């Protein structure tokens, strides 16, 4: 173990020793990352000057370098040497080459394009915009950062834990003597979120201090690490099945996979797992598995709680578009609230990178002749419509190749509508759908498969789609009734009567193909008088009322048409509503505020987690059947009733972080809550007791049972909170997935932050069993 803290004064010889120790630390961490001796890693460790850009007038040189822990970037001002700041590589969402951020586009000239790059952070932290001294240097920074980020994200759970614990040990070594005193050991335990009494700390210390020197070093620290990371629950499970000379043979492992994990596997599959996961070469040669190898297997992605078959596209993608739930965003342009928050192209990028497939563009006349996007009648900032279209074009299909719907809320004059149409056709090019597929008037939607890589425009249209197939395509009246959502927005924000007519540019009208916006005048009118491509938008209150009082009619409506649901205008804080009841009514485009972390967004991301994160989930058959009698409220008998019993044993947690920085000196008191969302009959939640002062390896061993009647519409949310008897519990992490994507058996569960980012090293360990109800 080497120290990374710089001491105030050193002699020359001490400084040489210190520098060698720092290099050794970097080598050790580089080895953990699989980058030992890597030139890109060495480049980051050496660091260099970069020009930091905040505005046209604020551009200052800063020195940036990677610290020896290989997970923290450090920078300082040349003018103020005492001004030092760091940020963790774990906080980086992406590194983007060129002038791709709004800041660089606004505050720099085109000629520096090749020297620019941006570091995009998770959450709401501002981007870091930088300019290198040359194009070659900029490429080196981007390449090196992307490589180390990729290697960090590909570490196994055990490797992440080892990396984290070793660095906590170094921080605890206050006097940098590569030894650990009893006081430093107590400091370390606090660092890793464990509070123990003095007697226990002394017992641990004495157990490892074989030299009786009053401090731990070398092998003694290694023994302490092994004692600390011992998993009693894993010992019990392993001991039950390790029946071959104290280890697991292929047959022993097969027995575990069949009996506990309920997997349809063979002996050959078990042997392949040993070959892949066993860390001891001697055991591997015997085709046996040690406890370390077994733990390695339990941390493999395919052994986690999410069914690995569901990580790829596994559903039929050739059904009509309206037969899918579609991940959808409301007020996509906003980064924060809808009264004074900033509008940004970055908000579109973040939503698209989360597989959102329907984004909203709230379009208004710009003061300089160019249409802008912002939340009308508020103080939210404005962004150019054409800049948004460019960002959408660039990022639409990086996470999912399936179609993206651009939902236009149009408040523009005819002239600026023409510009909107021009920008979309010129920027999106052939990817923009400008006419129906096929040479005959369609009677149904094309499929997501047929629309791969295409953009669809949702908005008002002056005439019927038949105009593409008839000689008579002239338009007599260039006015249309105002879009429901646009009228609602005006009524909510301005408190004026709704406008009844909007002048429409034919150029914009003509590129609205399969998603023509119309007013909803009831289910009967929609059935008898509206074409399949004519769709309505519903404010959440109206939609929820329909879903509660006329669920079966709503389901039949959505068998033939698309429906978009959006939050009430009264949600000034950009909060969200529960989407589950609306999915149960067959609604496809249930739009949420992606910029607002919430339980509702957790449910949305959980719903769209499987099927390759395409942003499309095939609705159950009974939500695609025009004769369906399904009603989520009354739950009459039918194919939807597939009563299952879910048994959950919450066993343990690992490396749960302290989230609330205001309570930094205290240790977390974690509890786990298991929640079921779905039809009303399936809604349930149960929670464990809290474990005092242990976020490192808390144990619960509590069993719960849930009855689930409509599993195809159910979601399971695992929540970890820091218990507080005097105030609201703090969220530590959560993980949400569809009930039908659960894997049986002993499973680790990753934890996500409120922004849906993975928390490195942290997780839960549970036993899951889904059985047919008696």
Work out the average pLDDT over 742-760: 94
Q: How far is CA 290 from CA 247, 255, 277, 340, 766, in A?
A: 6, 16, 10, 58, 21
Burial of 136 (0-12, 13-18, 19+ CB in 10 A): exposed
Residues 563 and 536 sit within 8 Å (Cβ to Cβ): yes
Q: Which residues contact 186 (CB under 8 A, 6 or more apart)?
A: 196, 198, 201
Lowest mean pLDDT among 383-397, 660-674, 749-763: 660-674
Catalytic residues: 330, 375
Residue-wise pLDDT tens digits, 332-358: 999 877 666 788 999 999 999 999 999
pLDDT for position 496: 46
Buried b (16+ CB within 10 A) or exposed e, 31-66: ebbebeebebbebbbebeebbbbeeeeeeeebebbb
pLDDT for position 664: 57
- DSSP characters over 471-490: S----S--EEPPPHHHHHHH
Q: How far is CA 658 from CA 477, 653, 662, 730, in A?
A: 62, 13, 10, 9
CA 493 – CA 465 distance, rounded (Å): 33
Q: Which residues contact 75 (CB under 8 A, 6 or more apart)?
A: 62, 63, 64, 65, 84, 85, 86
pLDDT for position 181: 85
Q: How far is CA 273 from CA 248, 249, 424, 618, in A?
A: 12, 11, 50, 32
Q: How far is CA 75 from CA 20, 45, 49, 147, 304, in A?
A: 21, 12, 9, 20, 38
Work out the average pLDDT over 494-516: 80
Query: Which tokens go with 532?
Result: 């399949």
Query: Which tokens go with 349?
Result: 């990028």
**Comparing C-alpha atoms, which of 255, 250, 292, 286 is closest to residue 271?**
250
pLDDT for position 657: 87
Work out the average pLDDT over 367-385: 88
3-class state of residue 576 by DSSP: coil
pLDDT for position 23: 74
- DSSP characters over 220-240: HHHHHHHHHH--HHHHHHHHH
Helical H segments across 521-579, by residue range: 523-529, 540-549, 551-560
**485 pLDDT above the threshold of 80:** no
CA 240 – CA 250 distance, rounded (Å): 14
Residue-wise pLDDT tens digits, 254-309: 999 999 999 999 999 999 999 999 989 999 999 999 999 999 999 999 999 999 99
Report the range out of 218-227, 530-539, 563-572, 631-640 with the highest average pLDDT. Answer: 530-539
CA 601 – CA 581 distance, rounded (Å): 14
pTM of the model: 0.88
Count of CB atoms situated within 10 Å of the CB of 19 = 11
Please name the helix (run of DSSP H) or strand (run of DSSP E) that holds residue 419, with its range, or none. helix 414-428
At 571, is the pLDDT very low, low, confident or very high (cuts 50, 70, 90)? confident
Crossing angle of the two packed helices 219-229 and 157-172, in degrees rounded to 10: 130
Residues 324 and 617 sit within 8 Å (Cβ to Cβ): yes
Residue-wise pLDDT tens digits, 425-458: 999 999 999 999 988 899 999 999 999 999 999 9
> Do strands 455-459 and 404-410 pair parallel, antiparallel, or not at all (unpaired)?
parallel
3-class state of residue 543 by DSSP: helix
Q: Which residues contact 601 (CB under 8 A, 6 or more apart)?
A: 576, 592, 593, 594, 756
Output DSSP code: residue 754.
Answer: T
CA 478 – CA 461 distance, rounded (Å): 10
CA 348 – CA 356 distance, rounded (Å): 9
Share of the chain above pLDDT 70, in %: 89
**Comparing C-alpha atoms, which of 235, 231, 207, 234 is closest to residue 221?**
207
- DSSP characters over 486-535: HHHHHHHHH--PPP--EE--HHHHTTEEEEEE-----HHHHHHH--TTEE
The whole-angstrom distance between residue 421's C-alpha and the CA centroid of its chain comes to 32
CA 544 – CA 583 distance, rounded (Å): 11
pLDDT for position 134: 96
Q: How far is CA 160 from CA 299, 316, 343, in A?
A: 11, 36, 36
- The values of phi and psi at residue 20, to 5°, are -65, -40
Rg, Å, the chain Cα set: 29
- Please name the residue that has the structure tokens 């579609």: 326
Residue-wise pLDDT tens digits, 134-156: 999 999 999 999 999 999 888 87
pLDDT for position 218: 77
CA 351 – CA 637 distance, rounded (Å): 39
For residue 652, what are the β-bridge partners? 699, 765
CA 85 – CA 717 distance, rounded (Å): 36
Buried b (16+ CB within 10 A) or exposed e, 319-349: bbbbbbbbbbbbbbbbbbbbeebbbbbbbbb
**173 pLDDT above the threshold of 80:** no
User: How many residues would you count in the chain?
Assistant: 774
Residue-wise pLDDT tens digits, 671-683: 999 999 999 999 9
Work out the average pLDDT over 295-324: 96
> Do strands 684-687 and 670-677 pair parallel, antiparallel, or not at all (unpaired)?
antiparallel
């Amino acid at each position: 173990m080497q120290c990374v803290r710089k001491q105030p004064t050193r002699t020359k010889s001490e400084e040489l020793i210190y520098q060698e120790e720092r290099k050794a630390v970097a080598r050790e961490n580089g080895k953990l990352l699989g980058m030992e001796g890597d030139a890109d890693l060495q480049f980051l460790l050496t660091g260099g000057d970069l020009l930091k850009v905040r505005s046209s007038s604020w551009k200052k040189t800063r020195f940036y370098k990677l610290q020896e822990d290989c997970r923290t970037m450090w920078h300082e001002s040349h003018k103020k040497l005492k001004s030092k700041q760091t940020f963790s590589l774990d906080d980086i969402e992406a590194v983007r080459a060129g002038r791709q951020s709004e800041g660089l586009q606004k505050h720099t000239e085109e000629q520096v394009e090749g020297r620019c790059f941006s570091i995009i952070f998770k959450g709401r932290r501002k981007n870091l915009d930088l300019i290198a001294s040359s194009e070659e240097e900029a490429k080196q920074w981007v390449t090196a950062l992307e490589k180390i980020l990729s290697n960090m994200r590909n570490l196994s759970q055990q490797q992440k834990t080892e990396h984290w614990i070793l660095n906590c040990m170094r921080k605890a070594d206050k006097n940098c003597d590569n030894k650990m005193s009893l006081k430093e050991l107590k400091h370390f335990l606090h660092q890793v979120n464990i509070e123990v009494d003095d007697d226990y700390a002394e017992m641990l210390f004495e157990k490892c201090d074989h030299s009786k020197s009053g401090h731990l070093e070398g092998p003694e620290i290694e023994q302490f690490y092994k004692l600390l990371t011992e998993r009693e629950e894993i010992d019990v499970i392993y001991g039950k099945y390790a029946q071959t000379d104290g280890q697991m043979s292929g047959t022993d492992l097969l027995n575990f996979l069949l009996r506990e994990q309920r997997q349809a596997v063979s002996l050959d599959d078990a042997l392949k797992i040993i070959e892949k996961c066993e860390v001891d070469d001697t055991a591997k040669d015997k085709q046996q598995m040690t406890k370390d190898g077994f733990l390695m297997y339990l941390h493999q992605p395919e052994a986690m709680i999410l069914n690995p078959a569901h990580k790829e596209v596994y559903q039929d993608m050739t059904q009509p578009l309206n037969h899918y739930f579609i991940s959808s965003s409301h007020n996509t342009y906003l980064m924060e609230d809808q009264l004074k928050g900033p509008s940004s192209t970055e908000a579109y990028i973040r939503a698209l990178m989360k597989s959102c497939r329907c984004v909203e563009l709230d379009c208004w006349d710009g003061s300089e002749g160019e249409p802008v996007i912002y939340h009308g009648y508020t103080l939210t900032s404005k962004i150019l419509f054409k800049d948004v279209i460019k960002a959408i074009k660039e990022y639409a299909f990086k996470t999912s190749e399936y179609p993206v719907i651009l939902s236009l809320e149009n408040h523009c004059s005819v002239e600026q509508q023409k510009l909107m149409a021009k920008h979309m056709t010129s920027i999106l090019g052939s990817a923009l759908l400008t006419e129906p597929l096929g040479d005959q008037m369609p009677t149904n939607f094309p499929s997501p498969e047929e629309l791969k890589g295409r953009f669809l425009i949702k908005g008002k249209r002056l005439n019927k789609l038949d105009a593409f197939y008839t000689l008579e395509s002239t338009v007599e009246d260039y006015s249309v009734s105002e879009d429901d959502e646009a009228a609602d927005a005006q009524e909510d924000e301005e408190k004026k009567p709704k406008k009844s007519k909007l002048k429409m540019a034919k150029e914009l009208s003509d590129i609205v193909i399969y998603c023509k916006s119309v007013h909803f005048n009831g289910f009967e009118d929609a059935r008898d008088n509206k074409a399949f491509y004519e769709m309505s938008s519903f404010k959440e209150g109206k939609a929820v009322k329909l879903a509660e009082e006329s669920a079966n009619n709503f389901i039949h409506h959505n068998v033939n048409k698309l429906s978009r649901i959006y939050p009430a205008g009264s949600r000034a804080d950009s909060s969200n509503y529960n989407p589950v009841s609306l999915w149960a009514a067959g609604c496809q485009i249930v739009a949420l505020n992606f910029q607002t972390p919430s339980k509702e967004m957790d449910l949305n991301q959980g719903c769209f987690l499987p099927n390759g994160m395409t942003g499309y989930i095939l609705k159950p058959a009974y939500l695609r059947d025009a004769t369906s009698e399904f009603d989520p409220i009354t739950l009459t008998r039918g194919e939807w009733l597939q009563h299952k019993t879910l048994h959950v044993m919450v066993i343990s947690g690992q490396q749960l972080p302290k989230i609330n920085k205001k309570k930094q000196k205290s240790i977390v008191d974690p509890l786990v809550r298991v929640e079921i969302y779905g039809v009303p009959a399936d809604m349930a939640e149960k929670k464990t007791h809290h474990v005092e002062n242990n976020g490192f390896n808390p144990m619960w061993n509590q069993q719960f049972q849930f009855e689930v009647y409509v599993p195809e519409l159910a979601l399971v949310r695992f929540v970890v909170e820091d218990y507080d008897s005097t105030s609201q519990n703090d969220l530590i992490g959560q993980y949400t997935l569809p009930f039908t994507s659960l894997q049986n058996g002993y499973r680790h569960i990753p934890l996500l932050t409120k922004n849906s980012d993975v928390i490195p090293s942290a997780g839960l360990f549970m036993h899951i069993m889904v059985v047919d109800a008696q």
